[in-house]
């Protein structure tokens, strides 16, 4: 295989890996039957957060940056669990107005950070694995937006079918994802 093809495969692999956690949280938010304007806002916020974190990671580079990347991943796992717990708590709220809204304000910031902090670690690794930044950022922005919209649509279908407990399921799913990402991280670093 030629080096351009290998680089393209690396870019696609990183973009898809990043997109999967975006997809997961988007399913959780989609269960709440988000409107089109909300979907657009989420897609833009998630893509912006992923790209920003990769650029920051890329610029920080090696050495102390790697340590910060490890810490950032753990913070991201914790934030994802907190978002899930907030969704479960919200499902028991009888008020028609949500107290923790993942689609705007602080809720959107926390959701965006929870899925993008792992991209900080990815950004640190980019120079070492020979992936050019600009093509990766373009690919990640496209795949992140696609994964967000597909996840929201899939979540909406689940939400329509299981309306009553959907928010609890979504919150539990996010907590389980945080645990799964943590275990995956622990296992991959033990070898």
| Domain limits for position 161 | 3-190
Cβ 177 vs Cβ 24: under 8 Å = yes
**Count: domains in the chain:** 1
pLDDT by residue for the chain (191 residues), tens only, comes to 677 888 888 888 878 877 777 787 777 777 767 677 887 888 788 888 888 888 887 777 655 555 666 676 677 677 767 777 776 776 676 665 556 676 778 888 887 887 777 677 677 767 666 678 888 888 888 888 888 888 888 888 877 666 556 667 667 766 777 787 678 777 876 76
Question: Residue 157 is encoded by which pair of tokens?
Answer: 């279908």
Cβ 117 vs Cβ 73: under 8 Å = yes
């Amino acid at each position: 295989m030629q080096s351009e093809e290998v680089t393209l495969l690396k870019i696609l692999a990183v973009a898809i890996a990043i997109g999967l956690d975006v997809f997961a949280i988007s399913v959780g938010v989609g269960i709440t039957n988000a409107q089109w304007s909300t979907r657009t806002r989420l897609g833009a916020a998630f893509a912006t957060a992923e790209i920003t974190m990769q650029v920051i990671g890329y610029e920080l580079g090696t050495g102390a940056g790697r340590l910060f990347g490890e810490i950032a991943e753990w913070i991201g796992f914790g934030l994802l669990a907190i978002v899930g717990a907030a969704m479960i708590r919200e499902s028991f709220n009888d008020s028609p107005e949500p107290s923790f809204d993942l689609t705007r304000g602080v809720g959107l910031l926390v959701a965006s950070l929870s899925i993008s902090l792992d991209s900080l670690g990815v950004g640190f690794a980019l120079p070492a694995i020979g992936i050019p930044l600009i093509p990766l950022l373009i690919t990640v922005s496209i795949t992140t937006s696609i994964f967000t919209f597909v996840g929201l649509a899939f979540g909406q279908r689940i939400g329509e079918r299981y309306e009553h407990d959907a928010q609890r399921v979504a919150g539990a799913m996010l907590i389980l994802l945080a645990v799964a990402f943590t275990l995956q991280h622990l296992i991959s670093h033990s070898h």
